[in-house]
Amino acid sequence: MSIIEILSTEKYISGNEISKFLGVSRVAVHKQINEFKKMGYAIGSSSKGYILIKNGKLLFNEYEIKTNLRKQLDICKTIKYYEEITSTQTAVKKLAEKGFGEGIIVVAEKQTKGYGRIKRMWNSNAGGLWFSMLLKPVISPDESSKLSLLLSIALKRIFEKEYGIGSEIKWPNDILIFGKKVAGIIIEMSAEQDAINWIVAGIGININNSLPKNLENISISLKTVLKKEIDRAEFMAAFLTEFENLYFDFQKNGFIQFLEEYNNKIAYKGMFVTIDSGYDVITGKNFGIDENGKLILELDNKLEKIVSGTLRKAEK
């Protein structure tokens, strides 16, 4: 527990009480309080002790995320927050390779080398939500790609339930609002022939960040849609809670239970789309996905199932 969590009771607490609770000296308590003040927290002090003053600022760090979580989550045992990092995905993969267990999340205010699928650069300015999580699901390696589909469903649910925004899922890993990309997902893993060692799931969401001019026609932020600043800690806590439920249901009962929901929200369904697999480009009518997460396309009056690729709406 941190000093911020202790002071969240909204009443004065003496430095001596905090010292005893944390098992540190009064000097250490005073030093930590000054550090939290530098982070933007308003902490008042008097002869009664210390108190956290609510000043309306939307702060974002590991303490705020934990405060917004209504319960302890198995997928979120530890949160590591950075003001700036090269890539949260790279950081979590290093932790996975060192043998860390499921439940570590790395989140950053800014990424300097954030990336998505096929190592495409992801613009990760301050104000967005950029994080990666270490997962160790009990599933076969060929089921791993379905986690991207689950993450998409969780994001779609949060946009709609918590913010009243309709969204679509662009197979296999993007979320669209008004036809523009608001979020992207990347899944990377280490596995043996029949067992997963670890999976690192990376999520990037345009929330309060400003988008470069060259991306404004294809991307959008939640702030632009709602015309106000969004509490990112609140958003992340809601998302993690939603995803944890999906994650364990999936391991227990498979993906089939989520298939209809996914297909009801898939982008460009019934329309002609182009799929670039990296070595071939095909165009066909989009019929959604099957129970294995493969995209069903109609080509020359026959159905073909696509395992992976970059999807775009076909040009007329």
Answer yes or no: do 156 and 199 share one domain.
yes
Q: Taking residues 112-137, report their average pLDDT.
A: 85
Answer yes or no: do 176 and 295 share one domain.
no
pLDDT tens digits, one per residue of 47-101: 888 888 776 678 899 989 998 998 999 999 999 999 999 999 999 999 999 999 9
Answer yes or no: do 260 and 276 share one domain.
no
Per the structure, the count of domains in the chain is 3
Residue 30, SS3?
A: helix
pTM of the model: 0.88
Q: Note the pLDDT of residue 9.
A: 72
pLDDT tens digits, one per residue of 193-237: 889 999 999 999 999 999 888 888 999 999 999 999 999 999 999
Domain of residue 13 covers 3-53
pLDDT tens digits, one per residue of 299-313: 988 999 999 899 999
CA–CA separation, 43 vs 51, rounded Å? 6
Answer yes or no: do 185 and 217 share one domain.
yes
Can you give the CATH number for the domain in which 21 is found?
1.10.10.10
Answer yes or no: do 84 and 228 share one domain.
yes
Q: At what angle do helices 26-38 and 15-22 cross, to 10 degrees?
A: 100
Asked if 311 and 274 count as a contact pair (C-beta separation under 8 A), the reply is yes
- The answer to whether residue 262 scores a pLDDT higher than 90 is yes
At residue 239 the predicted structure's pLDDT band, cuts being 50, 70 and 90, is: very high
Residue 258, SS3?
A: helix
Q: Which residues contact 199 (CB under 8 A, 6 or more apart)?
A: 134, 135, 136, 137, 144, 147, 187, 188, 189
Answer yes or no: do 239 and 282 share one domain.
no
- The answer to whether residue 296 scores a pLDDT higher than 80 is yes
End-to-end C-alpha distance for the chain, whole angstroms: 57
Answer yes or no: do 135 and 218 share one domain.
yes
The sign of the dihedral angle between the CA atoms of 243, 231, 173, 187 is negative
Answer yes or no: do 91 and 212 share one domain.
yes
